[in-house]
Structure 1
Amino acid sequence: MNIQEKDQKLRTYISELESLAVAFSSGVDSTFLLKTAHEVLGDRVIAVTAKSCSFPERELNEAMQFCEREGIRHFIVDSEELDIEGFSSNPKNRCYLCKHELFEKVAEVAAEHGIKEIAEGSNLDDNGDYRPGLIAVAELGVHSPLRYAELNKEEIRELSRGLGLDTWNKQSFACLSSRFVYGETISKEKLSMVDKAEQLLLDLGFSQVRVRIHGTIARIEVLPDQIAQLITEPKKSVITAEFHRIGFTYVTLDLDGYRMGSMNLTLNKE
């Protein structure tokens, strides 16, 4: 299928749903899904955003602004992952625990407002990575329209650009808990450290960033063609000084650059 056929497949799929609650993070995928669903279903679609310490305030603000601008009913729920039993110890099924809790809360909002179905924004590329959260999606009967339509990230960006969405070239984002090596305790303090460090890099003009945390060591990932910028003065001194102030003892650079799911390299998936 070409990209236009995939887009039509997506719209046909959504049109067959009576009403829809979209789990909305303001990222590239969920923004495109929500925009498309709203075009197809109108006021029979709502957006539900989960607020927690692993979700940066900038992302929450962008979600609120988008829904206000588009005239989409938007509901914000508290979904504090650190309150989930076992989550803070960062087990291999961390994402399953989080997504299960999230979609249960989305379902509560949907039921309260007479919405029949729930959807999330994973895309075809997510099938190739370790994604325990997709088990929760399957268990709870949550729709994955973008995967159904076989749309990958680059195609979603292209279609988003055609719709005039600012997110078409937005950096890929995952919850801040994904910055921790499996087995390392996740805390509000360390989540805040990661959030502040990544915001600094974004403010300095880096377009795709991750600050992976290993104890008090920060491992910075940026796009390979931006590595030289990071180690060039005065940015290097600004970054190291600010990272130390935030609470990192050591500041390191990953020479492989940014890549999705780099923490999963430590997993034995067999």
Structure 2
Amino acid sequence: MTNLDELVDWFGDKSKVMIALSGGVDSALVAYAAFQKLGKSAIAVTADYKTLSEEELQTSRDVCSEIGIEQIFLDYDELENEDFTKNDSNRCFHCRMELGDHLTELAKEHDVQIIVDGTNLDDLGDYRPGIEALKQYGIRSPLVETGFSKSKVRDAAKSVGLSVFDKPSNSCLASRIPWGQRVTAEKLTRIEFGETIVKQLTKLKQVRVRDLNGSAKIEVDKEMISIFDESIFKQISEKLKLIGFRTVEIDPEGYKPGKINVIAD
């Protein structure tokens, strides 16, 4: 029996399941497996909160359309949560606690007993306070329980034809703001626009525009930094300043997840 068979069978004794689905490959594979076993008794739920980019939102719609699974949107504003916007090292915990609240309420409305997410084995090795928050709500992680690493997730997603199989990992827009600097709607908007601009001008798929007190620091894979010749950097810099950034620079160290998870003044 393959890992994928095990994942599909994991849902075998469940009557109705709700999947917390983002625009990423992990939750997409979980939703696929749930739908294979449960059909219409599997429901995907995507939180349309303010720190999720429109690109991610659209990807989540595309994935659900590919799978054929019903998708429900949770629409709320985590910027109204002071514990979240103050942006300390527990930001993700507060975000996921609020998500857990909304998911459990929705589950009651739809008579769903089990909520699952897309956490995989590799996630457990990182600093992920959000995972702990969801655990408190009894939200389960089928990928962990059936032994899926990120590479196994991608292989399985490719084998069943999910278009997101090679999609770069992403995180919410608030992760571009260093701990200790307040999360605001203005910052999230310019970060999202900034990343769209860089992607359009460079054709790169994985881009981070960090907002360091109004200065933009662009991170891409280290081997891709050479794309930013004088002409392209000038165009990017001009456009980013138009949307509110004071200065623009390329991080010479390249992209690394969680790089700015430090308290900043």
Give the TM-score range, shorter chain: over 0.9
In 1: Cα distance, 2:18 partner to 2:140 partner: 10
How many angstroms does 1:61 deviate by? 2.2
**Residue number among 25, 31, 38 corresponding to 2:35 in the alignment:** 38
* SS of the residue 1:252 aligns to: strand
How many angstroms does 1:69 deviate by? 4.2
Does the alignment pair 1:117 with 2:107?
Answer: no
**AA partner of residue 214 (structure 1):** L
Structure 1 residues 1-46: Cα deviation after superposition (integer angstroms, max 9, x where no partner) = xxx7432332232223222101111212111111121112211100
In 1: Cα distance, 2:234 partner to 2:76 partner: 37
Partner of 2:235: 238
Give the TM-score, by structure 1 length: 0.92
Structure 1 residues 35-82: Cα deviation after superposition (integer angstroms, max 9, x where no partner) = 121112211100111112211112222222332343311111113111
**Residue number among 204, 218, 221 corresponding to 2:219 in the alignment:** 221
**AA partner of residue 149 (structure 1):** T
**AA partner of residue 211 (structure 1):** V
**Residue number among 132, 142, 149 corresponding to 1:135 in the alignment:** 132
Larger mean Cα displacement after TM superposition, 125-134 or 54-63? 54-63
Give the TM-score, by structure 2 length: 0.93
Q: How many residues align?
A: 262
In 2: Cα distance, 1:67 partner to 1:7 partner: 18
* SS of the residue 1:125 aligns to: helix
In 2: Cα distance, 1:234 partner to 1:153 partner: 37
Contact 1:129 1:261 survives alignment (8 Å): no
**AA partner of residue 160 (structure 2):** L
In 1: Cα distance, 2:166 partner to 2:100 partner: 27
In 2: Cα distance, 1:115 partner to 1:135 partner: 21
Structure 1 residues 156-178: Cα deviation after superposition (integer angstroms, max 9, x where no partner) = 11111111111011121111011
**AA partner of residue 205 (structure 2):** S
* SS of the residue 2:88 aligns to: coil
Partner of 1:210: 208
* SS of the residue 1:212 aligns to: strand
Does the alignment pair 1:161 with 2:146?
Answer: no
Partner of 2:256: 259
For residues 1-270 of structure 1, what are the structure 2 equivalents within 5 Å? 5-204=2-201, 205-230=203-228, 232-264=229-261, 266=262
Percent identity of equivalent pairs: 35
**AA partner of residue 93 (structure 1):** N
Contact 1:79 1:101 survives alignment (8 Å): no
Where structure 2 has 5 or more consecutive residues not aligned to the other structure, the ranges are: none
Contact 1:79 1:102 survives alignment (8 Å): no
Where structure 1 has 5 or more consecutive residues not aligned to the other structure, the ranges are: none
**AA partner of residue 186 (structure 1):** V
* SS of the residue 1:86 aligns to: helix
Contact 2:176 2:260 survives alignment (8 Å): yes
In 1: Cα distance, 2:156 partner to 2:66 partner: 19
In 2: Cα distance, 1:211 partner to 1:153 partner: 24
How many angstroms does 1:244 deviate by? 0.9
Structure 1 residues 130-153: Cα deviation after superposition (integer angstroms, max 9, x where no partner) = 111011121110011112222122
* SS of the residue 2:105 aligns to: helix
In 1: Cα distance, 2:149 partner to 2:236 partner: 33
Q: CA RMSD in A?
A: 1.6
